[in-house]
Every structure is written in C-alpha cells, then in structure tokens.
C-alpha cells in the first residue's frame, strides 16, 4: 500500500529564517506530487505541483520554491520566511488518469512564523 510522509509535523521559525519541508511517498512510482497551503480557517491553495523529477510548476508567485530531487521526494523551501507564510502545509500525491484519478494527502506540517 502507499504511504505519504511529511516532516516536521510542527515548526516554529522566526521571520527571515530559511525553511525546508520534506514530503516522501512510499509504495508507488512516478506519482504526481503537490504542495498546498491552508491558512487558518480557510481553504486550500495549490502552491506547486510536479509530474516528474526536476519538473516543477508554480501556481502562485511568492516567497516559496519547490524541488523534486528524487521520484518520490518533494521539498518545499524558502530562503527568508515572512509572517504571511504561516499556515498548514499539505503534500499530496496522485495516481491514475481520467476516471481513475485520485489524490491523497499527507498529515501536514503546521508552520508558525514569529
């Protein structure tokens, strides 16, 4: 079976510090991978998605970047965090095409920028 991991689960960082969040998927190969952000009490915002190693599409220009150094690893980074980067960051992977398509989410990382 497939499993998706995210770490850390919780992070408190000062403004201006760097960020690295990691997501890994087990039990599948060549998944589509996604990073979302969820602000407190709000919906989901798609930040990045990737269809393969080194292939990153950015949905919203901002203070963040993403990389996919391995097939099942997806990293979200920032060089200098802003207060507005606080939120719940969710990684997801997808399988299937057309009617078989399904997207599955990790447990999330709660980031607080102080």
Partner 1 sequence: GNSVTQMEGPVTLSEEAFLTINCTYTATGYPSLFWYVQYPGEGLQLLLKATKADDKGSNKGFEATYRKETTSFHLEKGSVQVSDSAVYFCALKGGAAGNKLTFGGGTRVLVKP
* Residue 107 binding partner 1, by CB under 8 A: yes
Which tokens is 82 given? 């802003």
* Residue 11 binding partner 1, by CB under 8 A: no
Only one of the segments 14-22, 67-75, 77-85, 89-97 lies at the binding site for partner 1 (rule: CB under 8 A); that segment is: 89-97
DSSP assignment of 71-94: TTEEEEEESS--GGG-EEEEEEEE
- Residue selected from 11, 46, 53, 56 as contacting partner 1 according to rule CB under 8 A: 46
Closest Cα to residue 23, out of 50, 5, 46? 5
- Residue selected from 90, 93, 111, 113 as contacting partner 1 according to rule CB under 8 A: 90
- Residue selected from 12, 101, 112, 114 as contacting partner 1 according to rule CB under 8 A: 101
Which tokens is 15 given? 């403004």
């Amino acid at each position: 079976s497939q499993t998706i991991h995210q770490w850390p689960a919780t992070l408190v960082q000062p403004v201006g510090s760097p960020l690295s969040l990691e997501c890994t998927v087990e039990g599948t190969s060549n998944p589509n991978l996604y990073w979302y952000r969820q602000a407190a009490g709000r919906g989901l915002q798609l930040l990045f998605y990737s269809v393969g190693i080194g292939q990153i599409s950015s949905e919203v220009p901002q203070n963040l970047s993403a990389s996919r150094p391995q097939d099942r690893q997806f990293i979200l980074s920032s060089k200098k965090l802003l207060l507005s980067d606080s939120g719940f960051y969710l990684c997801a992977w997808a399988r299937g095409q057309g009617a078989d398509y399904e997207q599955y989410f990790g447990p999330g990382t709660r980031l607080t920028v102080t």
